[in-house]
Structure 1
Amino acid sequence: MYMLLLILLGVIVLFTTFMTKPKKRIHHRLVSLGLLLVVVGGSGVYESYQGNTSTGDNPRQSVKTTTDSSTDLSKLNYQSDQEIEVNNNKPTFTSSDLNINNGAWQSFTNLDNLNRAVRADALLNKGLMPTAKREPLYVNPTGWHNKKLKSGWLYNRSHLIGYQLSGQNNNPKNLMTGTRSLNSPEMLKHENDIAYYLKQDPNNYIRYRVQPIYRGNELVARGVQMMAESMDSQGSADGQVSFNVYIFNIESGVTINYSDGTSVVNNN
């Protein structure tokens, strides 16, 4: 406000000087004073504007953390974002992966030599979605050492492909030990987007892949990679659901021993 007043005062001085035409010496002094007031006021306004844009008065959209598709995800350590984009959030399915000629299907890789869930693939369609109520889970995935926290249980039996999409429930090939935050809200928000899309049209498809990422022989995954690509009835990608993300299997305030699933609650 004060800077604007200086500019206004400078303009008034200049205007008055040129209108009244005082003696030459006074004229020069008044012109110099008027110009000085305008320059000082203008500089103050500019600095104020710069300060506002840098402190958030003119916010920019935040950039989501991303990693290259060739990155070994098992070597990544959690920093600040539980979910990061892979390959700029673009799925890496091939044209044959996106073939819909055989209709909807789902496939679960056999457990590995440590009995860990490995990968789930599917061409999802509304026809695969269950109508029956889900039964209680009883299968314990590898590294299942659950613990009650103040905010709830540390772990969930996390489906690779959510029950609401596949009808698969107590399938050991489709279950991993996941933290509560990994399961919900992180994985669930993507599953809900997929479910919504499939319900809009029974001829819609989504190519889907979910893969736990382990480090060496650890029994609990460090995270999970999820990819999805939506397609219309002609098998053409429509971009309505399209993502490639990696979600860290962490829980705030807890240190997890990924080798066996035991954990320590941090007191600080």
Structure 2
Amino acid sequence: MIIILGGYAYQKGYLGSTNEVHTSQTKVETLATSQTHTSSETSESNEVTSNSETSESNEVASNIDTNEYKEIAAKNFTSGSLAYETINQNKSTLNANDWQQEKIEYGNLDQLNRTTEVTAYLSKKNLGKSETRSEQIFKPTGWHNQPRIVAGNRIFPQNRGHLIAYTLSFNIDSNGNYRQGELGSLDNPKNLATQSEFSNQKTMQVFEGKVRNALSQGKNVIYKVTTVFRDNELMCRGYWAQAVSTDGTLNFNVYIWNVEPGISFDYATGMSKVDDTINVQNVYVGREYNKTYKSYKK
């Protein structure tokens, strides 16, 4: 039986093919579905986040507008729609006067070990290059990156998506404090979520590019990204991104759909399957970044 939900087609009882189910993650998925969690079975990544990053840092308690967050979380993507939609008439609710110095405030992980929000106070000093990236190993909630064949091409539908891009977070340490010589935020659990390949490498690039351009012009920018989850789902439905420069020339407030053309996701678990009914209007016109070779595709 096929169920259409928010533009996605799901097969009743679908949990992905048997080769998608991994023992180390099945407990997390089962617990998320039943909403019953025990200290011994939440997620292997709990141990990863209990490290020195929790002390002397710019961590903050979540400051999310709960009502607006719920309204956004209730939205459903309709196949064929634009890859993002504007919030608050595309005007940020950030206060440009809050910019004082370069730093990043990492929101604490929630009770399901999911990212919440990250707010970055950036200048030209924080720009860096992708060529310095190294391998990522942290597995965020909902991570099941099994290859799929879409339109004859083999793709990996999921990426480890940064809330604040690697290339926007140089000279800031893992605690969010300014420190000259630091590379960008790469494998920080508080800055990573399971993001679709399309959302990460195309749609997100549009708005990260706006921030990058403003910084390269010497402007100071506040850039905030919130992962939007519905209930106890382990993969976020989208990324709520907003930015404002201190001179007011940069100002946007958007919701980026966490979707992939030709793929439907079970957001409760992060599992995926090929679905040729899923189409997304692409807004990215730049070069595609090839993560394997750390360069832009020609």
Q: Distance in 2 between matches of 1:194 and 1:250?
A: 22
Residue 242 of structure 1 aligns with an amino acid whose one-letter code is: N
Within 1, Cα distance between the matches of 2:69 and 2:269? Answer: 28
Partner of 1:220: 235
Q: Deviations over 1:121-170 (max 9, x none)?
A: 01111222346711111111100001213342100100000000011110
Q: Which runs of 4+ in 1 moved over 4 A?
A: 68-71
The percentage of aligned residue pairs carrying the same residue is: 34
User: Aligned residue for 1:197?
Assistant: 214
- CA distance in structure 2 between the aligned counterparts of 1:134 and 1:98, rounded to whole angstroms: 32
Structure 1 partner of 2:142: 143
Structure 1 contact 85–244 (Cα < 8 Å) conserved: yes
Please say if 1:82 is aligned against 2:91. no
Q: Which residue number corresponds to residue 267 of structure 2?
A: 258
Partner residue of 1:207? 222
- Secondary structure, counterpart of 1:98 in structure 2: helix
Aligned to 2:119: 121
The structure with the largest helix share of the pair is 1
Contact 1:69–1:86 at 8 Å: present in 2 too? no
3-state SS in 1 of match to 2:204: helix
Q: State the Cα deviation string for residues 14-67 of structure 1 (Å, max 9, x = none).
A: xxxxxxxxxxxxxxxxxxxxxxxxxxxxxxxxxxxxxxxxxxxxxxxxxxxxxx
Deviations 1:57-103 (A, max 9, x none): xxxxxxxxxxx968710000002122000011000123xx6323x31
Structure 2, unmatched stretches of 5+, are 1-66, 170-183, 278-298
1:176 is paired with a residue whose SS is strand
With over 3 angstroms needed to count, the CA separation of the structure-2 counterparts of 1:136 and 1:223, relative to structure 1, is: same
Q: Does 1:174 align with 2:183?
A: no
Contact 2:240–2:256 (CA under 8 A) maintained in structure 1:
yes
Is 2:263–2:276's contact at 8 Å kept on the other side of the alignment?
A: no
Instruction: Kindly report which structure 2 residues correspond to 1:4-43, keeping only aligned pairs within 5 A, or say none.
Output: none
- State the TM-score, normalizing by the size of structure 1: 0.67
Q: Partners of 2:124 and 2:267 in 1: how far apart?
A: 36
Corresponding residue of 2:248? 238
Candidates 159, 162, 171, aligned match of 2:162: 159
Alignment size in residue pairs: 190
Judge conservation of contact 1:118–1:211 (CA < 8 Å) in 2. yes
Q: Distance in 2 between matches of 1:138 and 1:243?
A: 32
**Distance across 2 between alignment mates of 1:242 and 1:92:** 9
Contact 2:69 2:228 in 1 (8 A): no
CA separation in 1, counterparts of 2:124 and 2:210? 13
CA distance in 2, matches of 1:220, 1:185: 18
Greater relative CO (CA pairs within 8 A, separation 6+): 2
Q: d(CA) in 2 for partners of 1:136 and 1:71?
A: 34
RMSD: 1.9
Q: Which amino acid aligns with 1:215?
A: R
Q: Alpha carbons of 1:133 and 1:74: their partners in 2 closer, same or farther (altered >3 Å)?
A: same
Any conservation in 2 of the 1:212–1:221 contact (CA below 8 Å)? yes
